[in-house]
Amino acid sequence: MRGGDPASLSNLAGYIDHTLLKADATAAEIDKLCAEALENNFASV
């Protein structure tokens, strides 16, 4: 996890866990989820 003030908008993305809670998610949906996480600098998938 990144350091800094989590209230700062520039740091907020580093505290977000991007998740797809769908048992039948396709590989394409998982790829899209990971791409979104990278694009937005989310903390984890």
- pLDDT tens figures, 24-41: 999 999 999 999 999 998
If you average pLDDT over residues 15-28, what whole number do you get? 94
Mean pLDDT of the chain: 87
Report yes or no on 45 lying in a domain.
Answer: no
If you average pLDDT over residues 16-25, what whole number do you get? 94
Q: Which residue has the higher pLDDT, 21 or 1?
A: 21
Q: How far apart are CA 9 and CA 42, in angstroms?
A: 12
When divided into structural domains, the chain yields a total of 1
Report yes or no on 15 lying in a domain.
Answer: yes
Max CA pair span of the chain: 37
Q: Which domain holds residue 33?
A: 9-40
Q: How far apart are CA 40 and CA 45, in angstroms?
A: 12
Report yes or no on 3 lying in a domain.
Answer: no
Report yes or no on 22 lying in a domain.
Answer: yes
Q: Does position 12 have pLDDT exceeding 90, yes or no?
A: no
Give 14's Cβ-side CA count (13 Å radius): 11
Model confidence at 18, in pLDDT bands (50, 70, 90)?
A: very high
> In the numeric block, which tokens belong to residue 44?
């984890």
Return the SS3 of 44. strand
